Amino acid sequence: MNIPLILSKVRDGMVLSTDELSEFARGLVSGTVSDAQAGAFAMAVCVHGLSEEERVGLTLAMRDSGNVQQWDLPGPVLDKHSTGGIGDNVSLILAPALAACGAYIPMISGRGLGHTGGTLDKLESIPGYRTLLPEDEFQKIVADVGCAIVGAGQGIAPADKRLYAIRDVTSTVESIDLITASILSKKLAAGLEGLILDVKVGNGAFISDPGEAKRLARSLVDGANGAGCKTSARLTDMEQPLARAAGNALECRNALEFLNGVNQDPRLREVTLSLGGELLCLGGLVENSSEGETKIDQVIGSGQATERFARMVFALGGPNDLVENYSRHLPEAPFLYDLVAKENGFISEIDLRAVGQVVIELGGGRKQQDEILDLSVGLDQISGLGQAVQSGDLLCRIHAKDEESAHSVSKNLLSAFTIDQSKLSPIPVVGELVQ
């Protein structure tokens, strides 16, 4: 295996063959590719990019580095993926809602990347919840419950699992080529029939430029459809948090409140219904996305989605009374600090990357690959764009391990909110559909 030659070619912007990409993916799994070499590869790809053919080749090489799921179920096998953002806990709501509509959702999710939170980290704030399962148990839970949100086990795209962790600590998260290969390798390995992609755009997303976000959406849609999986992508806004919470247990609590019909953040609701409606249409369960949105809304309102979530949590090792008693089970930070406005006006801008970094500084996100998280910390009651505030009004509440850590982040957090005298026009949360 000539890994140095492969690295020199990608460093110099030369085209890698399918065999070379497969060789590199196998090396990631076997360990013959070191962390340093994996980081060098990721950085070279981030700088020079890959051709469309190379991108597909890397995707399939990482998919084929492990097992590809096979399903025999009475409904369509579907999934959703988000490119990440602040307060994005859609998966926790949408997966059980889709299951209640007759779909089967084998959701392979990831951990936090960069300044954004990860679905697995959020779910691990639930005591006993297992994110890694043997393949046979994973398939059984999906068949019985209709959904299971887990991590990519040893058998699912193991090459991506290794490269994913390296990207988080080498400032290569934003690469469209690596994002595409990472997302699709896991999703295609799950044996899906339909996929909806939530491509975030804005200062809190990995991609702030709408044109670049559309390019990523196009790359993902073309790659997945080319592999035989019906796929669409929706561009959604990340100039402000999707939900009013940021942090693992706090976002899990927020999702449970939503499922229980309490504090349903309007932006979170709109994105959830839009993605779910389109996906039900892709899966052939409804005639059009509008009908799908209505169906998703109905199963949430009736409690059917909540019931599916409860069954999933219990099947994966969590408490059987989580949805009724989540305040008793989810960890709570010992120190609360109210961050308040220092002037009157309207919130005209929120630096969401700074907000994400605050969660990391509190201990709720990773600075190093193997760092253990404090799942209780974060922010909630986060104010939104265009909101009128007066001096002394709450901008957000900090949940910290102690007073010192809360005060250490408060200055940077306060500067993340820009207040002026002009009221913004509402920013649409749901944008263009890419098919």
* Residues that are catalytic: 79-82, 119, 167, 182, 186-187
Q: Write down the H helix ranges in 75-118.
A: 90-100
Q: Are 168 and 162 in contact (CB under 8 A)?
A: no
Q: Are 198 and 232 in contact (CB under 8 A)?
A: no
Q: Which two tokens stand for residue 18?
A: 């399918």
Q: Are 195 and 183 in contact (CB under 8 A)?
A: no
- What residues contact residue 366 under an 8 Å CB cut-off, 6+ apart? 111, 112, 168, 169, 360, 373
Q: Are 35 and 166 in contact (CB under 8 A)?
A: yes
Q: Are 343 and 418 in contact (CB under 8 A)?
A: no
Bridge partners of 230, per DSSP, are: 194
Instruction: State which H helix or E strand residue 196 sits in.
Output: strand 194-201
The number of CA neighbours under 13 Å toward the Cβ of 60 is: 15
Instruction: State which H helix or E strand residue 221 sits in.
Output: helix 210-226
Q: Looking at residue 250, what DSSP letter applies?
A: H
Q: Are 295 and 102 in contact (CB under 8 A)?
A: no
Q: Name all contacts of 167-173 with Cβ < 8 Å and 24+ positions apart.
A: 167/42, 167/113, 168/111, 168/112, 168/113, 168/114, 168/366, 168/369, 169/366, 169/368, 169/369, 170/39, 170/42, 170/43, 171/46, 172/39, 172/42, 172/43, 172/45, 172/46, 173/113, 173/114, 173/206
